[in-house]
Amino acid sequence: MSNYAIKISDVSMVFDLHKENISSLKEMIIKRLKGQLQTEKFYALQNISLTIEKGEVAGILGFNGAGKSTLLKTIAGVLVPSTGKIETQGKIAPLIELGAGFDMELTARENIFLNGAILGYSRRFIQNKFDEIIDFAEIHDFLDVPLKNYSSGMIARIGFSIATVVKPDILIVDEILSVGDYKFQMKCEERIRTMIGDDTTVIMVSHSIEQIRTMCTKAFLLQQGRLIAQGEAAEICDIYMNSN
C-alpha cells in the first residue's frame, strides 16, 4: 500500500556541537586547553518513525528546541538526516524559513521570479500568475522596493503567496503564519483549508494550540528530539498542555 504522503523511518539528526562553535584558531586552542574539544554529539532528532497519509493535516507540537523545525527541514530536503529514511510522494511546497529563497537586496518583483525559479516554476508561469501572487500578498504599492525594506510579515506574505499559487501535494508550514497580521493569518488559513479540501497533505508547526486543534486531523508531540506521542489532534494538544 502506498497511500502515504510522508513516511519517516527511524530518522536521527546528529549535530556536532563543538565543531560548529569554533570560529578561530585562538578559540580552538583555548577550548583544547580547557579540555572542551571532545566532540559532543547532540541529537536534534532521535529515531523518529512516523507516517502521514495523503490528505491528512498533521500538526507537530513541542517546546522550543524539541526538534520541530529540524524535522520539517529533513522532510523538505533542506537537511539530510544522519541516519534513517524519508520518503515523500508528490510536489512539496516548503514554507520553512522566512526569507529562505529570497535575496534581500532585490525588489519584491525580482524576488517573486527568483523564488518561483527555486520552486521550479518557469518564468512564463510566474508571469501569468504574477497578479494573482501580488493580489494575495497585498503588496501592490511596494513591488519595486528592495526586500530588505520590507517587514517580516510582508516577506511572509510573499513567500506564502508564491508557494501556494500552485496546489502542492504536500504543504510544509513552520510557524510562518504567526508573523502575518491577524487578517493575513485568516487568509492563509482559508487558503490552507481550500487546499486541504483539495486533498493536499499538510504538515505544520504552530505554537498556537488553537490552530493545531482546529486545523489538524492528527498531531505528533516531540520532546528533546524524540517522538513521545501521536494521535488525534485534540488528544495530543491536551497531552502537550499537561506536559513539562
Least gap, CB of 31 to ligand ATP (angstroms): 16
Q: Which does 65 bind (CB under 5 to 8 A by kind): Mg ion, ligand ATP, none?
A: ligand ATP
Least gap, CB of 109 to ligand ATP (angstroms): 31
Distance CA 101, CA 176 (A): 14
Tell me, by CB under 5 A, how many residues bind Mg ion. 2
Least gap, CB of 205 to ligand ATP (angstroms): 7
Among 39, 64, 242, 244, binds ligand ATP (CB under 6 A): 64
State yes or no: residue 23 binds ligand ATP (CB under 6 A). Answer: no
State yes or no: residue 80 binds ligand ATP (CB under 6 A). Answer: no
| Binding window for ligand ATP (CB under 6 A); candidates: 66-74, 96-104, 148-156, 194-202 | 66-74
Give the nearer residue to Mg ion in terms of CB position, either 74 or 111: 74
Distance CA 99, CA 21 (A): 24
State yes or no: residue 69 binds Mg ion (CB under 5 A). Answer: yes
Element (H, E) at 173: strand 170-174
Could you tell me the three cell numbers for 193? Answer: 483549508
Among 57, 59, 69, 212, binds ligand ATP (CB under 6 A): 69
Distance CA 53, CA 155 (A): 31
In degrees and rounded to multiples of 5, residue 82 shows phi and psi of -65, -40
Distance CA 71, CA 110 (A): 30
Number of helical H runs and strand E runs in the chain: 9, 9
Least gap, CB of 134 to ligand ATP (angstroms): 29
What is the crossing angle of helices 152-163 and 123-137, to 10°?
A: 130
Q: What is the largest CA-CA distance in the chain?
A: 61
Residues that bind ligand ATP (CB under 6 A): 15, 20, 42, 44, 62, 64-70
Residues that bind Mg ion (CB under 5 A): 68-69
